[in-house]
Amino acid sequence: MSGYAGPVTQLPDFDPTDGGRHPCIVERIAASTTPRVPFSVEFYPPRDEAAEERLWRAASVFSELGAAFASVTYGAGGSTRDRTVRVVERIVRETDIVPIAHLTAVGHTVDELREMVRVYGEVGVSNILALRGDPPGDPLGEWAAHPEGLHYAEELVRLIHEVGDFHVGVASFPEGHYRARDLHHDTEVLVGKLRAGAEYSITQMFWDVDDYLRLRDRVVEADPEQGAKPIIPGLMPVTSLRVVRRMVELSGCELPTGLAEQLRLAAGDGPEENRAAVREVGIGFATRLCERLIAEGVACLHFNTLNFSRATHEVLANLSMVPAAGASIGTA
């Protein structure tokens, strides 16, 4: 790999005390000076004090490396509401990372959703990712709307805009959402969300660049205007075979046979998987995936970090986008 070839990005600062607003995500990634392409990260609300400390260590690293934004997930039915709000509020208050707060429709009334949007606004959030969400307790179970709630993410996009002046993104699915009838139907749903006022989409994690490219082509063909909006690829460097198998199971996406076999061989046959070997395979695969995505002109690379910084940092360093871990961060 070639070495790091530029300074860590310096994006326009946001001062939450001056009454201003965060820029929209499209503007934020356009303003990035990260070498090659902007990057962003996803965090989960921590479950305990140790997990919270780990999250803030990761947030500090990614803030210093110049992450364009950080999305923070939201549990189905509001199961992580207070923790999500606390995390995004602290990101606003203590970092220069632009936060995106997730919001899921499942399990909520319309009034509860409106109130949640207002709460986000009160803590300084300008960007929201609107999601229908999976059933609590069983993500692959039968989906049912709350009797006083919404049925679709498109409706949530419209509701958020009705409540206030927010920038809204949505999810997209390179392999098609597992509840969609087919890829044509899945594309229609995404285009509907974009027409409702979403400014971009972030994909579910995927492992085959061709799936992403076919999604991008389908949206352009269905509606060139909406197809011009960024489709940001969602990625996850694999560091544990057990963890990635579980995430694939819950998401409904598929792990390519070749990658699955490489990871299985790396894990070994012992009672505990060989994490170092799995990690080496996962980091290498993620680096090659990103190289091709950059070559295909993606607007940004979005990493599911599981609240750790090291794996994503290594991939970014391999791509010559940031200094290697332990290197001085500043001008090259």
Q: Are 25 and 299 in contact (CB under 8 A)?
A: no
pLDDT at 142: 76
What was the pLDDT predicted at 18?
35
67, part of any domain: yes
pLDDT tens digits in sequence order for the chain, 332 residues long:
445 545 444 444 444 333 346 889 999 999 998 999 999 999 999 988 899 999 999 999 999 999 999 999 987 666 788 889 999 999 999 888 999 999 999 889 999 999 999 999 999 999 999 999 877 766 666 777 788 889 999 999 999 999 999 999 999 999 998 888 899 999 999 999 999 999 999 999 999 999 999 999 999 999 999 999 999 999 999 999 999 998 888 777 888 999 999 999 999 998 999 999 999 999 999 999 999 999 999 999 999 999 999 999 999 999 999 998 765 443 22
Does 87 reside within a domain?
yes
Residues 69 and 96: their CA atoms lie apart, in Å, by: 9
- Establish if 14 belongs to a structural domain: no
Domain annotation covers residue 145: yes
DSSP 272: S
Question: CA 301 to CA 298: how far, in whole Å?
Answer: 7
Residue 179 lies in a domain: yes
pLDDT for residue 136: 72
Say if 280 falls within a structural domain. Answer: no
What pLDDT score does 12 carry? 42
Which sequence positions are flagged as catalytic? 42
95 lies in some domain: yes
Look up residue 17 and give its two tokens: 């005390």
- Number of independent structural domains in the chain: 1
H/E run at residue 130: strand 127-131
Cβ–Cβ < 8 Å for 5, 32: no
Domain that holds residue 196: 25-238+299-318
Residue 281: inside a domain, yes or no? Answer: no
Domain CATH for 177: 3.20.20.220
34 residue type, one letter: T
Q: How far apart are alpha carbons 210 and 293 in whole angstroms?
A: 10
pLDDT of residue 76: 62
Q: Which residues pair with 171 in a beta bridge?
A: 202
